[in-house]
Amino acid sequence: MTQDSIKRGGFSSSFGVLAATLGSAVGLGNIWKFPYLTGANGGAGFLLIYVLCTLVVGIPVMIAEITMGRAAKANPITALQRLNPGKAPWWLIGVAGMAAAFLILSFYSEVVAWVFAYVIKAIDGSILSSERQVAENAFGALIGDPVQSLLWQWFVLAFIGGILLLGVTKGIEGLTKRLMPVLFVLLLLLCGVSLSLEKAGDGLAFLLRPDFSKISAGVVLTAMGLAFFKLSLGMGTMMTYGSYFRDDQNIPQTALRVMTADLCVSMLAGIAIFPAVFTFGFEPSAGPALVFMTIPAVFSQIPGGHLLMIVFFVLAAVAATGAMLSLMEVPVVILHERLGMSRPKATLITIACLMLLGSTCALTNSVLSHVKVFGLNLFDLFDFVSSNILLPLGGILLALFAGWVWGADRFNDAISNKGTLSNATTARVVLFLLRYVSPLLILLVMLKGLKVF
């Protein structure tokens, strides 16, 4: 099978494009990572920097990735080779992207495992309590049990692999399209309940009144890493999805919509969680456990909360599934198109590798709790290296490639759908950001955040 003879799929409708791209962006990053990082880094000040990063760095890089992916219609490695007029090995960005995908999937699949386990715990009702101790015990018992952690993670990987093997990407696209609005409604409902809690004001103030004393270079790097992670940028995911975009899709508009909707989901999660944190006496800086402790507490306050909590965790699992599929698509499509493997074989190999690599994250709170690298356990290390180093680095290189190597003419032609859209000003602004602003800013934040200077 040669690379060009492989028949490529694509998204069918304009709404399908939006749903799939949003399906990649919205995931546990919104429901799990965003609230706990905001809590741990001081609240509103962090939120503000995060929003700035999405606007100044996230949007241009997202547009660049999608535009290049669509122009090349190939996996990230091949795409960078096709678009590169010279000989420099820019395709290595695609290789780094594949490495980032494996690292992220290793810890992400474990968090999805917790969500799946919580669906069952929600059903048996054992976690429906606003008692801090009950919440902490339930979560601690899950992550501290090596057998449960591992089995749940492998179940998740097998589940996602099964979906990919069945080749029902369309099915999952259709599913997410229908269920995402339900997640939205449920989050709104949760916000309503949370805002009626006793100390809702404190929670909101924490989320909305900036306190810049907590902001350091490291915190800014975390916010930027989160922006990349949230929007699935810097590792070729959006490039891959871009390769499935229709030729008449308005890319800047789609990117803006995805970013806005994604931010809304994150904000809703924040508004649902922080009033509860303050009312029930949890710690805003509780870390990865935050969502798993506060959400059951909020549901315990309302009639019908038991059922709604089940629905919530099921929907969180669905959101996570959409994001995981997009993450896994990167190595699968690379193995498929570069090495000529069939898609099922590429999927099986990816899953097998992840079962091995991911188990290091599953066992981080039990058998491997003593293993530390640079003071971090393996779960945190994979998260740190991917979000704060690999994704931003990928972002810098992709921005430079789009801005300088691919060239203004080709970029303008692609972003305007061969001149059929009149978006010359947008194109000029995006190109300027890609050439001068985004790479420099990312580099500065990275070097400062990593204490290089």
Sites of contact with ligand PFF (CB under 6 A): 24-25, 27-30, 104, 229-230, 232, 235, 237, 323, 326-327
Count of CB atoms situated within 10 Å of the CB of 57: 28
Cβ-closest residue to ligand PFF?
29
> Whole-angstrom Cα distance, residue 208 to residue 213?
15
- Minimum distance between the CB of residue 92 and ligand PFF, rounded to whole angstroms? 18
- Nearest one of 217, 257, 285, 209 to 35, comparing CA atoms: 285
Least distance CB 413 / ligand PFF (angstroms): 27
Please say which residue, 323 or 361, places its beta carbon nearer to ligand PFF: 323
Of the two residues 44 and 231, which places its CB atom closer to ligand PFF in the complex?
A: 231
Residue 36 CA to residue 216 CA, distance in Å, equals: 17
Alpha-carbon distance 400 to 360, whole Å? Answer: 34
Residue entry with tokens 């799990």 = 32
Shortest Å distance, C-beta 390 to ligand PFF: 10
Q: H-helix or E-strand containing 364?
A: none
Containing H/E element for 403?
none
Nearest CB to ligand PFF, comparing residues 25 and 315: 25
For residues 323 and 171, what is the distance between their CA atoms, to the nearest angstrom? 15
C-beta separation of 195 from 275 below 8 A? yes
d(CA 69, CA 438): 19
Minimum distance between the CB of residue 29 and ligand PFF, rounded to whole angstroms? 2
Whichever of 235 and 255 has its CB closer to ligand PFF, that residue is 235
Angle between helices 169-195 and 290-299 (to 10 degrees): 60
Q: Which is nearer to ligand PFF, 200 or 221 (CB)?
A: 221
């096709």: which residue's tokens?
A: 82
- Give the nearest distance from C-beta 386 to ligand PFF in angstroms: 8
Residue whose CB is less far from ligand PFF, 27 or 358: 27
Euclidean distance between CA atoms 120 and 125, whole angstroms: 9
In angstroms, give the least distance from the CB of 302 to ligand PFF. 27
User: With respect to ligand PFF, which residue has the nearer C-beta, 229 or 411?
Assistant: 229
Would you say 238 or 433 has its CB closer to ligand PFF?
A: 238
> Tokens for 111?
């968090």
Contact (Cβ atoms closer than 8 angstroms) between residue 66 and residue 254: yes
Cα distance between residue 394 and residue 415, in whole Å: 21
Quote the CA–CA distance of 304 and 209 in Å, as a whole number.
Answer: 33
- Minimum CB separation of residue 391 from ligand PFF in Å reads 7
Min CB(365)–ligand PFF separation in Å: 21
CA-based angle 413:416:417, to the nearest 5? 85
We find the least distance from the C-beta atom of residue 327 to ligand PFF, in angstroms, to be 4
Helix and strand numbers, DSSP H then E, in the chain: 22, 0
Q: Which is nearer to ligand PFF, 29 or 275 (CB)?
A: 29
